[in-house]
Amino acid sequence: MTTRKIKFSEGEYYHIYNRGVDKRSIFNDSNDYNKFIESLYCANSTEPIGKNKGFPMIIKGETLTYIGAWCLMPNHFHLLVKEKSEGGLSKFLSKLQTSYSMYFNSKYKRNGSLFQGMFKAEHLDEDGYLKYIYSYIHLNPVKLIQSDWKEKGLDDIEKTKEFLNNYKYSSYCDYLNLNRRETKILNKKVFPEYFESVDIFTDEIFSWLKFSK
């Protein structure tokens, strides 16, 4: 049995991620993405996920963990979370991955594990690292339009901004106040107030981008 090296502690921050087994796609269409987003909401409850009325109804029971940022990519996902109480984070991730796997396997008539083993976790125990993770998570989708941007720099900054503004499968737009999902999935108040305005948020995000010469 695999034992996790990191022990989750109440009040601590973590970067959670996992990918499809054999790096396979775990999201094949918009319905798959939307189902996982719904699961981010429904699984984060002390009530069994089957009793939940679904997004965007109010969650019944207490939340299991705090979510500060998230991003879905074709074959993996990223979450920034804060442990709310002992065992809450692990229970949330178990419900999240199990419920989505059951949906995916049923839809595509497959069997077996969907995710690559136990979800991965990094303890964000330094303030600078915690702040950086917001950029790391929200810039992941840039690879979909330019896979080599980290090595060669961005070809088109305006195209990148437009792409991120229209990418539906992350919390980037929640921080730009382009929708109201953050009242259902995110709990910004329990995370450090790094971004007092949209401009401060975008300036921080784009400060990590490199540009081609």
- Residues 6 or more apart whose CB falls under 8 angstroms from that of 208 comprise 132, 135, 136, 139
Q: Which residue has the higher pLDDT, 22 or 6?
A: 22
Residue 50: what pLDDT?
66
Position 1 scores a pLDDT of 41
Q: How far apart are CA 173 and CA 86, in angstroms?
A: 31
Q: What is the pTM of this model?
A: 0.91
Q: Distance from CA of residue 173 to its chain's centroid?
A: 13
> How much is the pLDDT for 157?
87
Secondary structure letter of residue 57 according to DSSP: S
Cis preceding linkage at 56, omega within 30: yes
Task: Note whether 154 and 212 are within 8 A (CB).
Answer: yes
- For the chain, percent helix, then strand, then coil, each to nearest 5? 40, 15, 40
Q: Report the share of the chain in percent with pLDDT over 90.
A: 75
Strand partners for 146: none
What's the pLDDT tens digit per position in 61-88? 789 999 999 999 999 999 999 999 999 9
For 92-130, the pLDDT digits (tens) are: 999 999 999 999 999 999 999 999 988 999 999 999 999
Query: How does pLDDT run across 22-47, given as a tens digit for each residue?
Result: 989 999 999 999 999 999 998 999 98
Q: 5: helix, coil or strand?
A: coil
**Could you count the other beta carbons within 10 Å of the beta carbon of residue 98?**
15
Place 159 in a pLDDT band, splitting at 50, 70 and 90. Answer: very high
For the record, the structure tokens of 99 come out as 């419920």
Identify the band that residue 183 occupies on the pLDDT scale cut at 50, 70 and 90. low
Q: What is 13-206's CATH superfamily?
A: Transposase IS200-like (3.30.70.1290)
Give the pLDDT score at 6.
Answer: 81
